Amino acid sequence: MKKTIFGAAVAAVMAAAPALADLTIVDTSYRTGPYAANGIPFSDGYQDYFTLLNERDGGIGGEMINLVECETGYNTEKGVECYESTKGEGALVYQPLSTGITYQLIPKATADGIPLHTMGYGRTSAKNGKVFEWVFNYPANYWDGASHAITHILDQNDGDISGKTIALVYHNSAYGKEPIRTLEGLAEKHGFDLTLLPVDHPGQEQKSQWLQIRREKPDNVIMWGWGVMNQVAIQEAVNIRYPMENFIGVWWSGSENDVKAAGDRADGYKALTFHNIGSDYPIYDDIQTHVVETGNAAGAGDQIGTVLYNRGMYAAMLAAEAIKTAQEIHGTAAITSAQMRDGMENLEITEEKMAALGLPNFGPEFKVTCENHGGNGFGAVSQWDAEAGEFKLITEYFQSDQEILQPLIAADSQAFAEENDIEMRCN
């Protein structure tokens, strides 16, 4: 007992080390464990963008950004520890990059008054800003993704998929279960059969699921995977010679690290995305000069230009733009987390803004409002070209099926509001 109290005392003293800084951004990353292959590029992109702003522009609006990294290992207990240890430093926004941790943090962050940005993951019904005051999931969410995949399959089949079978291979967690409700709704609307194939954490063992796919030969396979599960699934699909062009992953199952392991035969694999791909943007010249050449690149610096690096950078860009918006609204450079929330709620991303930042045509335009915290739900489909070693966009950005999604979002957020006695905002 004595030992424990001594240990705890030392731990607490150590935790209080970093000083308060101007604009604190916490990067809850995971560079270890079974999800590291996807966690590293995202975190590198997220950090490099803020480093670029510090090095090139001297921060945002004259305030330097203090970047704090905390390793979660995609583990909820460590995620809570990270949140508690960093929230006292004046963190403006959390981007946990884990649906499990998001569910932990929604009540905590709401009570503490710190906004959460769960970009393309987390709790889908957080799109309803009337209920979820502190949570944002723009520009797209899981249910958008599920609808995008089905719309793409519809396009491939001239608009008729009745009687076809579609299998969903999903991570058996809150993350993977999110799209089921939407897919069931869409199955009813379009008349296809849905087969559910859960894969348990971490996802290295998928033989039986793919054996079932081999036996039942579904017309399409949709995947909700993350980390090592992606690589294994794509390898298994290659092994059973499943036609790759019928295999669509959500945007979290579509990075170079996921397909490269399967070699040339992964060619043709499709994945959704809600932002553009590649490194052919003016901002990469700035990153090269101000971040890489000054030796400040995060991690090993070998992920620049990959899909998830772009996504991390996009997340950081949206956070930085929200900070700018908040600074304009409140007329102060050193904003608080409550002011940051206002900035996020009034964020507007236009083509001119993105072009001025060196990211022309990088993502869809959207506007966040009090009612809508989730953007407009635009996405596109990309395809892996094994020879060129890169993903390429094969469609334009298109909107998800709002007719199906809106009632589901309203119902789910309503249930949450009733469970937790939340009064509707924005009236």
Partner 1 sequence: MFYREAGDFKTSYVEDGQTFPIKFDRYRYYAVLIAAFAVVPFIINDYWVNAVFLPFLIYSIAAIGLNILVGYCGQVSLGTGGFMAVGAYACYKLMTAFPDVNILFHVILSGGVTAAVCVLFGLPSLRIKGFYLAVATLAAQFFLVWLFNRVGWFYNYSASGQINAPERTVFGVPVTGAETAPWAAYLFCLVFTVACAILARNLTRGMAGRKWMAIRDMDIAAEIIGVNPLRAKLTAFMISGFFVGIAGALFFAVYLGAVEVGEVFGINKSFLVLFMVIIGGLGSIFGSFAGAAFLVLLPVLLKNVLVGTLGWPTDLAAHLEFVIVGGLIIVFLIAEPHGLAQLWRVAKEKLRLWPFPH
Site residues for partner 1 per CB under 8 A: 1-5, 7-8, 10-12, 14-15, 17-18, 29, 31-32, 36, 40, 69-71, 73, 75-77, 80-81, 84-85, 87-88, 99-100, 103-104, 107-108, 110-111, 123, 172-174, 177-178, 180-181, 198, 200-201, 299, 412, 419-420
Query: Nearest approach, Cβ of 69 to partner 1 (angstroms)?
Result: 5
Query: Nearest approach, Cβ of 212 to partner 1 (angstroms)?
Result: 16
Smaller CB distance to partner 1: residue 172 or 395? 172
Q: What is the DSSP string of 22-50?
A: SEEEEEEE--SSTTHHHHHHHHHHHHHHH
Smaller CB distance to partner 1: residue 99 or 128? 99
CA angle (78 as vertex; 72, 81 as ends), nearest 5: 115
Query: Nearest approach, Cβ of 424 to partner 1 (angstroms)?
Result: 19
For the chain, report the end-to-end CA distance as a whole number of angstroms.
54
Query: Nearest approach, Cβ of 40 to partner 1 (angstroms)?
Result: 8
CA angle (66 as vertex; 333, 23 as ends), nearest 5: 25
Smaller CB distance to partner 1: residue 256 or 412? 412
Residues shown for the chain: 427
Q: What's the rounded Cα separation, in Å, for the pair 390 and 11?
A: 45
Smaller CB distance to partner 1: residue 146 or 277? 146
Q: Cis before residue 360, ω within 30 degrees of 0?
A: no
Smaller CB distance to partner 1: residue 8 or 424? 8
Smaller CB distance to partner 1: residue 299 or 360? 299
Q: What is the CA radius of gyration of the chain?
A: 21
Q: What's the rounded Cα separation, in Å, for the pair 144 and 178?
A: 11
Q: What's the rounded Cα separation, in Å, for the pair 365 and 362?
A: 9
